[in-house]
Amino acid sequence: MNQILTVKCPICAAAVAWLPENAFRPFCSERCKLTDLGEWADDSRAIPCPPDELADEFA
């Protein structure tokens, strides 16, 4: 039995088939992919870390 793995698009939560021919995975579309990129670029998305780690990095 080959079941197709599906994941939720990180932006709109639409079901996305995890297939090689889906160029935008894990996103459902180019629009969601670019929306995510824009959120990282304007710092509205970030990987959280404790404040003391940031202080060491920029000291």
Query: Which residue positions form the known binding site for Zn(2+)?
Result: 9, 12, 28, 32
* Residues contributing to the annotated binding site: 9, 12, 28, 32
Distance CA 42, CA 10 (A): 17
- Alpha helix segments (H runs only) across the chain: 30-41, 51-57
Element (H, E) at 6: strand 6-8
